[in-house]
Structure 1
Amino acid sequence: MRILFTTAPGYGLTFPIVPLVWAARAAGHEVLVATTGEMVDAAARAGLPVADVLPGHDVWQELIRATGSQEQTPGFERFLAERGLTEAYEKLPRDGGPFSLFTLTMTQGSIEVGRSFGAELVVHTTDHPTGRLTAVALGVPVLEVGNRVSWSSRDGSFRTGRNFYDDDELSLTLRAQLGIPDGPPEVIARIDPRPPSMGGLVGDEPDQVDGLPWWPMRFVPFNGGSAVPEWALQRQDRPRIGVTLGTVVPVMSGTSSLSVVVEALGGFDADVVLAGREADLADVSPLPDNVRAVGFLPLSAFLPTSSLLVHHGGSGTTAAALHYGVPQLVLPAFADNPMSAERVVDRGVGLSHDPTTVDVEVVRAAVRKLLEEPAFGTAAREVSAEMALQPSPASVLERALAAFPG
């Protein structure tokens, strides 16, 4: 079978679905990832065939310009005009997150790529409606995959109306512009990757919402590949603490909270691993002697030997720590970060604090609590054990193909 995977162009939006693409390819299916921006190279480095649906344009930079009320770049302005999308762009909500912009700019290219590829099935992430529209245009069914452990539209915990459904103004504009038929695609199932005790499905029995089946799936962390350094494989006598703000927060909100965390942890008898792009960490200096800056080293390289992770609340980061049974201190930034933090605190696997008011003493007190009170580690290991019992991506794919129409 020829399966088209459509994802939005962000690490936290694309990486969670990579293990499912691997499963499809390992099962002998032809696969193609339809995305753009940095994810073209990231998917290729993950060993996947990928097509750039918006070549020549950096939609992330246009998003940053739009949220900052800056003018479009000339090339992007021409692109919108040539596609007849200028009016639709001007109507996009500036406070609605990136999803509407991704849908506006990526749908035509995704349809064209899917048609050329001969896609028989579209697999799309919940937050990327382009996949749904592509499936309707191609007349093929979809498998919708949740790519976050912090929310799911199954329980209504992240509904925005305009961003995720087919009857909003943007969708109607694109349907008219691209000749996409009315109505939703045929949905085989929707996949929920959350652990049972954090809102996910219990066991492997499907749930039913709005007449559609929901299936559970184990979250398998993928943070990129790397050569794992020797120190990351070794457990130390003193705690190892990972620290990251991901890839988006440093660009959108800066690194002031990261500087506070680094200063606070410099006073601990612990090995601190600071992960992030070198350009994003340039202002976080000088580093204490016990802090090791490791660049863009995947979390999976050092989380197995870590005692704690301090981070921004990105869903993939949150889920990776859960997978490895590591307690967390979350300093939530924006988007669904606060929801991730809330679920972490409610389940007892970590603590949270507002990054705009955090200071050195607050961080030190939280870290001491997380390292010294065993309840956090116990809860984190319980969630990890739950996740290990959920159906693997390979088994979910097999189930989906068994339910494939015809």
Structure 2
Amino acid sequence: MKILFSSAPGYGLTLPVIPLIWAARAAGHEVLLATTSEMTEAGARAGLPVYDVFPQRNVWNDLLTMVSGQGRDTGDTTELPEEYRNLRLGNGPFGLFTVTMTEGTIEAGRAFGPDLVVTTSDHAAGMLAAAALDVPVLEVGNRVSWSVRDTDWREGHGSFGENEGAMAMREKLGIGSTRTLARIDPRAPSMGGLHPDDEHPDERDAAPWWPMQFVPYNGGAVVPEWALHRPERPRVAVTLGTVVPSVSGVSSLAAVLAGLGGMDVEVVLAAGTADLSELGELPPNVRSVGYLPLSVFLPSCSAIVHHGGSGTTAAPLFYGVPQLVLPGFADNPLSAQRVADRGVGLTHDPSTIDATTVRTLVNRLLTEPAFRDAATEVRAEMAAQPTPASVLARAVAACHAS
């Protein structure tokens, strides 16, 4: 079987789907990942065949320009679709991705000839491509702390990702309705997800919801020797993900590092390529590792402090690590609230955080057993969910039967 995977060009929007693509390849299916911008290289590094559906322009950079408050001037837009120029980024990232990526995804699909399209629930370009190609689509949730089953998502983005950009492209290209095979919910049951034996048809179109185990993928790396061992004192991970440093800088790290610097802990700071010069000399107990995938060292950590990105929230759940979330923007506050509600961690407004508060909150995570116990419970729930391989096999069987 040939399976076209389609994703938006962000790490948190693409990397959660990689294990499902691996499952398809391991089962002997032909796969192609249709994406653009930085995710073409990220997909290739994951060992996948990738097609750039919009090589004319880095639309991810356009998104960062928008959310950083640098205005909507995106430079020369003469080579861009008319719909893009009309929206001028005012429809948000999903509209932006839809109007730039839909036609290229359809073209890739026509050349590849898929029997099934797999796309994330927030990526309308994939769903529109499936409809244009007249093949069923498997819709995958890529957030493990909340889901497109939630009312708050639907109110903000519209059913099935039908934002203004999607409606414009559907009309422009004469695309009909999408045949949804099923929708995947990767959340643990106690965080709003489905139990393994649950079958919940969607009230909108009767497509079934299937549970799936979240398997973290955040890149590969040569593992340093220290990461294989749990240290004598607690190890605390600190990261702002890939978007926050580009948009807001790293100033929010000052209070975090000042607080942790006064504790008897080992700090692993994973700040990617962010410029840390404004922070001055780091405390002696801070190990700055640049870009090192969380999965490399998170299993040896006793806690993590982060911004609330979907993938960064999900990885500690998988490893049973309590977390302190200082939410940034977009869906970050919602992830933070789910973490606090489930008792797997704590949250605080990053605009009012200080070193004393950081020490107090992290000390609670390290010393109060309830947080570790709750995180361990969620980890066990996730491990009991159907694996990506079993969900992929189920989708293939349903595709053949349809």
TM over 0.5: yes
Deviation at 1:209, TM superposition (A): 1.8
TM-score (norm 2): 0.95
Call closer, same or farther: CA 1:257–1:167 in 2, change over 3 Å.
Answer: closer
- How many angstroms apart in 2 are the aligned matches of 1:166 and 1:196? 24
Aligned match of 1:189 = 182
Quote the residue 2:316 is aligned against: 321
The question of whether the paired residues in 2 share the 8 Å contact of 1:204 and 1:391 is answered with: no
Deviations 1:382-402, CA, capped at 9 Å, x for gaps = 110110000000000011111
Q: Deviations over 1:25-47 (max 9, x none)?
A: 00000000001111100010001
Alignment correspondent of 1:209: 202
Inter-CA distance 169–314: structure 2 relative to 1 (3 Å threshold): closer
Change (3 A) 1:231 1:161: closer
Structure 1 residues 97, 361: CA separation in 2 closer, same or farther (over 3 Å shift)?
farther
Q: CA deviation at 1:363?
A: 0.4
CA RMSD of aligned residues (A): 1.5
Structure 1 301/371 Cα, relative in aligned 2: closer, same or farther at 3 Å? same
| Mapped contact 1:127–1:164 kept (Cα < 8 A) | no
Tell me the equivalent position of 1:43: 43
Partner of 1:3: 3
Q: CA deviation at 1:88?
A: 3.3
Distance 2:98 2:391 in 1: 26
Q: Show structure 2 runs of 5+ residues with no match.
A: none
After superposition, the C-alpha distances for 1:225-248 in whole angstroms (9 at most, x for unaligned) are: 001110000111100000000000
- Corresponding letter in the other structure for 1:88: N
Q: Deviations over 1:320-361 (max 9, x none)?
A: 000000000000001111111111101111000000111111
Determine if the alignment matches structure 1 residue 106 to structure 2 residue 101: yes
For 2:258 and 2:159, how far apart are their aligned partners in 1? 41
The answer to whether the aligner puts 1:302 opposite 2:304 as a matched pair is no
Alignment-derived partner of residue 336 in structure 1: 331
SS across alignment from 1:144: strand
Residue matched to 2:398 = 403
SS at match of 2:210: strand
Please tell me whether the aligned partners of residues 7 and 34 of structure 2 are also in contact (alpha carbons under 8 angstroms). Answer: yes
Q: Name the residue aligned to 1:281.
A: 276
Q: Deviations over 1:277-309 (max 9, x none)?
A: 133434333111110011110000001110000
Pick the aligned partner of 1:127 from 122, 125, 143. Answer: 122
Q: What TM-score results when the alignment is normalised by the length of structure 1?
A: 0.94
- Quote the Cα distance in structure 2 between the aligned partners of 1:164 and 1:51: 27
Partner of 2:82: 84
For the residues of structure 1 that align with 2:239 and 2:161, how far apart are their CA atoms?
35
Taking the aligned partners of 1:86 and 1:326, their CA distance within structure 2 comes to 42
With 332-341 and 255-264 compared, the bigger mean Cα shift is at 255-264
2:15 corresponds to: 15
Q: 2:302 & 2:162 partners in 1: Cα distance?
A: 46
Deviates more, 1:277-286 or 1:331-340: 277-286
Secondary structure at 1:202 match in 2: coil
Give, in angstroms, the shift of residue 163 of structure 1.
Answer: 5.3
Q: 1:260, CA displacement in angstroms?
A: 1.2
Tell me which residue corresponds to 2:226. 231
What is the CA-CA distance between 1:79 and the residue it aligns to? 1.8
The alpha carbon displacement at 1:165 in A equals 3.3
1:195 counterpart letter in structure 2: A
Look up the equivalent residue of 2:198 and give its one-letter code.
Answer: E
Alignment partner of 2:236 out of 236, 241, 248 = 241
| Alignment map for 1:375-390 (pairs within 5 Å) | 375-390=370-385
Q: Distance in 2 between matches of 1:160 and 1:33?
A: 29
Query: Distance between the aligned counterparts of 2:278 and 2:30, measured in 1?
Result: 44
Equivalent residue for 1:199? 192
Question: Could you tell me which residue of structure 1 aligns to residue 172 of structure 2?
Answer: 177
Matches within 5 A, 1:18-167: 18-67=18-67, 68-74=70-76, 77-80=77-80, 83-90=81-88, 93=90, 97-160=92-155, 162=157, 164-165=159-160
Secondary structure of the 1:32 match is strand
d(CA) in 2 for partners of 1:282, 1:119: 48
User: C-alpha distance in 2, partners of 1:7/1:312?
Assistant: 22
Contact 1:97 1:335 in 2 (8 A): no
- Deviation of 1:112 after TM superposition, in Å, equals 0.6
Q: For 1:48, what is the secondary structure of its paired residue?
A: coil
Aligned equivalent of 1:293: 288
- Say if 1:154 and 1:162 are closer, same or farther in 2 by CA, change over 3 A: closer
8 A contact 1:162–1:169 mirrored in 2 = no
Which whole-Å deviations, capped at 9, do the CAs of 1:67-115 have from their partners, x for residues lacking one?
43242221xx0122xx33355324x53xx54111111111111111111
- After superposition, the Cα gap between the structure-2 partners of 1:298 and 1:402, relative to the gap in structure 1 and judged at 3 Å, is same
In 1: Cα distance, 2:128 partner to 2:364 partner: 48
Letter in 2 for 1:59: V
Aligned pair count reads: 397
* Secondary structure at the counterpart of residue 333 of structure 1: coil
1:102-137 deviations in Å (ceiling 9; x for gaps): 111111111111111111110000111111100011
